[in-house]
Amino acid sequence: MPPDVQQVPAATVARLPLYLRCLEELEQTKVETVSSSRLAELAGVNAAKLRKDLSHLGSYGTRGVGYQVAHLMRSIRFELGLDEQSPVIVIGLGNLGQALVNHAGFGDRGFPIVAVFDIDPNKIGRRVEGVDTAVEHLDNLETVVAAHEARTAIITTPVGAAQSATDRVVAAGITSVLNFAPTVVQVPEGVALRQVDLALELQILSYYQPRPETSPEHGARDENLRAAR
């Protein structure tokens, strides 16, 4: 990125898709303008934070009117690079891989799943609903990635295969990795990585569960939580 281009903070980037979804819902109900406080309420964030986030896009809204829904959607889509289709490949066609491939929502949002890879001989060559091509062996990775100009890979292999699968997709030219295997994989500089782990989310939620006061530490924790609300 050229040095004079301001980089949008990662936390802001992570919230932009949420704002976009809220704006899409507003547009569907024919709403043309929205105030920052209303959009913040819909997105479940603080209004000052939302205004700061959108200022990184050069969107400040108009006092007393708010933001133009269609214009703000275009700005966010542009910033996120959602203007064109971005082909995705899936590595590991097990329970989760199959569920993701079956989900039509990715294609609708500009992320068509163009190929699926596995190493199980019983799966290779099989047709899968939701993908135009049959399941490919991992050995064909480079050819398929190049043919489809795919940039993103979803990793749904067992933990033990996640790092090697990541290394292989990166070597094949993939520059964005979405890892579902519950392990931290490493990627080289220049490759974007997101990890999705629902068990981890449940563990975070667990912290907020009321618990019996079995120890002084628990008592102090609940006290802090009450104070934070």
Chain contacts with ligand NAD (rule: CB under 6 A): 91-97, 117-120, 123, 138, 156-159, 161, 164-165, 180-182, 196-198
Contact predicate 185/162, CB 8 Å: yes
Comparing every residue's Cβ against ligand NAD, the nearest one is 94
Q: How far is the CB of 169 from ligand NAD (least distance, A)?
A: 10
- Of the two residues 79 and 118, which places its CB atom closer to ligand NAD in the complex? 118
What is the spatial distance between Cα 151 and Cα 145, in angstroms, rounded to a whole number?
8
Choice between 53 and 136, CB closer to ligand NAD? 136
The edge-to-edge listing of strands for the beta sheet with 192-195 is: 136-137, 113-118, 88-91, 152-155, 176-179, 192-195
Q: Between 75 and 179, whose beta carbon lies closer to ligand NAD? A: 179
Judged by CB, which is closer to ligand NAD: 61, or 97?
A: 97
- CB of residue 99 to ligand NAD, shortest distance in Å: 8
Q: Kind of pairing, strands 33-34 and 67-68? A: antiparallel
CB of 94 to ligand NAD, least distance (A): 2
Among residues 95 and 209, whose Cβ is nearest to ligand NAD? 95
Nearer CB in complex with ligand NAD: 197/222: 197
3-class DSSP state of 137: strand
**Going along 65-204, which residue ranges are E strands?**
67-68, 88-91, 113-118, 136-137, 152-155, 176-179, 192-195
CA distance 9 to 194: 15
Q: Please, which residues have CB within 8 angstroms of residue 103's CB and are 6 or more apart in sequence?
A: 130
- Nearest distance in Å: CB 107, ligand NAD: 20
| Closest approach of ligand NAD to the CB of residue 143, in Å | 16
Q: How far is the CB of 109 from ligand NAD (least distance, A)?
A: 19
